[in-house]
A and B are shown apart, each in its own frame.
Chain A
Amino acid sequence: MRTSAPSQPGGGIAADDTVAISLHINGELRHVLTDRRATLLDTLRERLALTGTKKGCDRGECGACTVHIDGRRVLACLALAVMAEGREVITIEGVTPADGLHPVQASFIEHDALQCGYCTPGQVMSAIACIREGRATSDDEIREFMSGNLCRCSAYPQIVAAVRAAAAGA
């Protein structure tokens, strides 16, 4: 496991709310200064430059911040960063191969399962887990088990098609 240098939060400062933690993210141990009050989502985005995970609502109501922790899909806005210490966090950056795309990502493009793209990383993370959970065996099942990810552009039928195709190829 590689390690990286600590990154500074904007401004740099001491004070009782700053905390140094180490997170296993995408196979790497990252040391980071964050705020004890910071969510995993804001720590990823504002301190670790991992902005592929999106913030849509910050209340667990949209699914845009879906990541995997210890192999399960969860919402990064409802986890404190300090609670993620010692656990394995995988973000959209971690599932994207350096030289191409994950089959689910390729399927999303093939089936035009995105428009503005803001919810898409969360959809992809959810779809990968949905297939792994065995919950992609019918269109109705995909619809239900992909309902934790809102898409306001409303690419839902294409998302179902993309997950169905990726599951068939998995």
Chain B
Amino acid sequence: MQHFAYSRVATLADAINAMQQPDAMVIAGGTELLNWMKEGIAAPARLIDVNGIADLAQVTADDRGLRIGALARLSDVAEHPVVRTAYPAIAQALLASASPQIRNMATIGGNLMQRTRCPYFRAEVEVPCNKRRPGSGCAAMSGNDRTAAVLGATAQCIATHPSDLAVALAALDATVHVTGASGPRSIPLVSFYRQPDGTTERETRLDAGELITAIEVPASAVARQSRYLKLRERASYEFALVSVAVGLDVEEGRIRAASIALGGVAPKPWRLCATEDALQRVTLSDEAAVRKTLTADFADATPGRHNGFKVELAKRAVVRALQMAGEGA
């Protein structure tokens, strides 16, 4: 690990100021950044410990929506009574994340800033990876692509985004609030993540020197009847092979509105917009009809050599998650 300077800040203003220094990075839970530093993926010159900014850890809710401070810990948000009842997909996604110990450390903001679990990116030595060293190539493409993306991949990168929470937030139309030297702004979660392009190492629309301060989720019938389904080979403590968050508004067995996002299949949480439109007025219990609505969104799937199964698995996961949300399960 490289040498670094370490400082603590107690206010957001101090944090923003400190972040304007070269090669500065924010540390909160530390559960991601420390691993990057150990593997040589990141080598900040300055670490700014923001854990002392108490008002960034608040979770508040009213009739209009939910506001989660960026420093709230995953375990606290998962246990929050309003999150559990009015935004169940969020609570379920959080409880399916990592382990109890890590959920006690990791923050909401840090969770959204996670980077891919692609084994080439995470390797203990550098192997060709455009995220890790721009221009070095993508070893996953010609190598073992079993966990790689089947939607939204590009010629630069086929990695998936690992956050469970981001998938739930994408389905529930959350907004990310950020602040930097030029003041606060907000970004819809669905456009917070970039698709890999020439700057594969930049994964979000967060600018240098900016910090996530909070997440807002609007209250809705869809959010109240939401569900997160995570598929993985190990029963716990594993990243998703495929995951899906759905929200439903159902009237007399027919879908009035549906909201669906997939995880584990794309470089970002993947909203199924065409499916959502096609599901309107479909009878939820008509499995064949539900299944048919998925065709358009998967038409552009680009399975590789070892991950083709994820296309079918994802389709089945969506159908199942819709059924579960409908059953209130």
Contact = CB atoms under 8 A, between A and B. Distances in A.
A130 B75 CA distance: 13
Contacts of B17: none
Given A36-B3, A79-B30, A147-B99, A60 B236 contact: no
Contacts of B34: 39, 77-80
Interface stretch (B101-109, B149-157, B266-274, B310-318): B101-109
B101 A74 contact: yes
B250 interface: no
B121 to A, nearest CB: 14
Contacts of A82: 6
Contacts of B235: 147
A99 interface: no
A62 to B, nearest CB: 10
Contacts of A66: 101
A75 B4 contact: no
B51 interface: yes
Interface string B220-262: 0000000000000001110000000000000000000000000
Contacts of A39: 34
Interface in A102-131: 126, 129-130
Contacts of B2: 37
A83 B30 contact: yes
A78 B236 contact: no
A148 interface: yes
Nearest to B47: A80
B105 A148 contact: no
A59 interface: yes
Interface in B3-52: 3-4, 6, 27, 29-31, 34-35, 37-38, 47, 49, 51
Closest 7 pairs between A and B when the two form their complex, measured CB to CB: A148-B99, A147-B236, A37-B1, A72-B104, A78-B31, A147-B237, A75-B101
Interface of B: 1-4, 6, 27, 29-31, 34-35, 37-38, 47, 49, 51, 75, 98-102, 104-105, 235-237
